[in-house]
Chains A and B, each alone.
Chain A
Amino acid sequence: DAKTTQPNSMESNEEEPVHLPCNHSTISGTDYIHWYRQLPSQGPEYVIHGLTSNVNNRMASLAIAEDRKSSTLILHRATLRDAAVYYCAGLQNYGGSQGNLIFGKGTKLSVKP
């Protein structure tokens, strides 16, 4: 079961890095860890995903613990547009079939100017 646990809320100052943690101690060995973010009244937006190795893309970095029981989403320089609810989600792998995302409760990130 890819259940995830995140802090309810976090605050950051603009232009500073933000580290958003997620615990997923029950994740299986083949479940990918995904991060999405959601603005009010909108659908979630993909941020990043990974399995074991750390990942980087233009939006963020994902640091995955060696035991895979936790991960951290890193926004290198927070902007006001990064204020959103960030969801850590496990993607259940159905062995070649499309898996579904199991969302945690998310972290509401506030960014102060």
Chain B
Amino acid sequence: GAVVSQHPSRVICKSGTSVKIECRSLDFQATTMFWYRQFPKQSLMLMATSNEGSKATYEQGVEKDKFLINHASLTLSTLTVTSAHPEDSSFYICSASPWVDNEKLFFGSGTQLSVL
């Protein structure tokens, strides 16, 4: 089955630093990837849609200058949390699919970000 790899699985950083999270589709090409954020005991909230070769589409309320998304190839999308603050501490999850049109999405294993 399709595999989405996400790295790192856990990161702890100091306030004010930037953190990059990678999302790779290992055995398929993904023109579109999605980034979600999940706070403890809450549901997944879509942050942005990452499009290969073009700008990402951000959901309302998500700061594009703070959460930089780069989708430079058909198998890699990165999310950079710039100038991280403690309120950015969360579980970040990416997803992708080898298909279009309503087919199932495959999710990465998530990245737990803790900002001190």
Interface residues of A (CB under 8 A from B): 32, 34, 36, 41-46, 49, 51, 87, 91, 93, 96-106
Query: Closest residue to A35 on the B side, CB-wise?
Result: B104
Q: How far is the CB of A69 from chain B (nearest CB, A)?
A: 18
Interface residues of B (CB under 8 A from A): 4, 6, 31-32, 34, 36, 42-46, 49, 91, 93, 95, 97, 100-110, 112
A-side interface mostly: loop
Query: Closest residue to B44 on the A side, CB-wise?
Result: A103
Query: Closest residue to A32 on the B side, CB-wise?
Result: B102
A102 and B102 contacting across the interface, CB-CB below 8 Å? no
A96 and B101 contacting across the interface, CB-CB below 8 Å? yes
| B44 interface neighbour in A44, A49, A99, Cβ under 8 Å | A44
B43 and A103 contacting across the interface, CB-CB below 8 Å? yes
- A46-B105, A93-B101, A101-B105 known; A41+B91 contact, CB < 8 A: yes
User: What residues of chain A lie closer than 8 Å to B95, measured between beta carbons?
Assistant: 43-44, 101
Q: How far is the CB of B25 from chain A (nearest CB, A)?
A: 12
Alpha-carbon separation in the docked complex, A51 to B103 (Å): 11
Alpha-carbon separation in the docked complex, A93 to B102 (Å): 6
